Amino acid sequence: MSIKFHKSHMYKNYKEMMTVYIYLSIIFILVLSMLINFLRNFDERFVINISTLIAFVLGLYWYVKSDNPSRAEISMTFMVIISDVLLATLVLKEHYLNYTTVFPMLITFALWYFYTLKRALWMSLFHFSFWIIIYVYGYYHYPEHTLLHNTTAMIGLVISYIFMGLFGFSYYLSTSKYQTKLEQANLQQNLLLKEIHHRVKNNLNIVSSMLGIQQMCENEMYVIELMKKNRLRIESIAMIHEILYKHDDFSNINLSDYIEQLLIAIKDMYSANIEIVISKDEVFLPLDIVLKLGIITNELAINSLKHAFQGNSGMIKIYFTIDNDTLVYVYKDSGICTKKKKEEIWKHANLGLKLIKMMLQEINAEVKLIESKGLSYQIEVPL
């Protein structure tokens, strides 16, 4: 199962977002029209509508699932072809003439919104040629057609199509230059942010390495343990900046990937022979929440490695899901820990637990003890 809390990582620019809105709008219109036809009388218009609806639903499904960088333009081409065929069929059958003659004009404008100049010209040529062929074909094969044999109406339609084409061309010339500058500025900003995250990560790694060198110079186990804990705390923050450096979306982070990297680092630091089981659900969350959960997980995992397992083996399991705008985050280990001991641990005043409580408070989270073998906590975070 794949859960997406924030969708912004899916649609990288205004064209991709607008494509989804157009799909949904057309599907809504088709469903509404189909219901009206069904309630009035079941005729060929119902069959035409449901066939087109299936085509657009399949197109939307492909668009959402596809990773093709040109999917917005491909989808627009698909919508133009299907819409033209549908509208031409309705015009020839004399269904909804007051509406079906208007939509081709809107399609003309949409071509200039989605395509580059050269491609928009070719698509406009295809669109106009298609409708000229349909009108000529209808004129000779439907002698009783009320629209196609109305010279005044046809001249008005042709003039309207040309006007919309020129209007779309003017819109393209007036906006494409500024849109290009805006995209370039956005790209430069993203590159700058990536460089900042990269440098912060490197600086944190330097601090961690300095603590590692100091750790090797110490003989007392208590001091060495403090060094390990602080190194992991620093590395948990450095990992966030590394993820942000490698990805384009700075507002959302894949929680599963981050927690997995964090637990592997803890496991390696303590040379522990433990099994790590992490939820495979893709939950994308803001930086602030992921960072706080990382610090909490870091402290819980260190506590499990130090106190929960007999010998140096065991299992840490983490799973999470989103339910009614609340993240349910569950941490479990396979150690030996009674409910009474869990409650006692929670009342301790060491630095690790103080950090956990502080992080929970900052994200307005609630924690619950779970009745199970080992240490088990359920953290609920409002989103």
**Tell me: the pLDDT tens digits for 309-359?**
766 678 888 989 888 888 999 988 887 765 556 566 666 667 778 888 888
Residue percentage of the chain with pLDDT more than 70? 88
Parallel, antiparallel, or unpaired: how do β-strands 313-322 and 273-278 relate? parallel
What integer pLDDT is reported at residue 64 of this predicted model?
84
Helix axes 71-92, 117-141, angle to 10 degrees: 20
Between CA 70 and CA 78 the distance in angstroms is 12
Q: Is the pLDDT of residue 221 over 60?
A: yes
Between 15 and 217, whose confidence is greater? 217
Q: What span, in angstroms and rounded, lies between the C-alpha atoms of 155 and 150? A: 9
Q: How far is the CA of 35 from the CAs of 38, 41, 49, 51, 97, in angstroms? A: 5, 10, 10, 14, 19
pLDDT-derived band of residue 6, with 50, 70 and 90 as boundaries?
A: very low
Sheet holding 326-333, edge to edge: 273-278, 313-322, 326-333, 376-382, 366-369
Parallel, antiparallel or unpaired: strands 253-254 and 313-322:
unpaired
pLDDT at residue 8, rounded to an integer? 38
pLDDT of residue 102 exceeding 80, the answer is: no
Q: Are 295 and 256 in contact (CB under 8 A)?
A: no
Domain boundaries, the chain: 14-149, 253-383
Q: Is the dihedral of CA 181, 184, 186, 189 positive or negative?
A: negative
pLDDT of residue 209: 85
Q: Return mean pLDDT, the chain.
A: 79
- Over residues 264-270, the mean pLDDT reads 81
The reply to whether CATH 3.20.20.150 applies to domain 253-383 is: no
128-133's contacts with Cβ under 8 Å and 24+ in sequence apart are: 128/161, 128/165, 130/84, 130/88, 131/84, 131/88, 131/104, 131/161
- Which residue in the block uniquely carries the two structure tokens 């084409």? 165
Please give the residue that has the higher pLDDT: either 132 or 102. 132
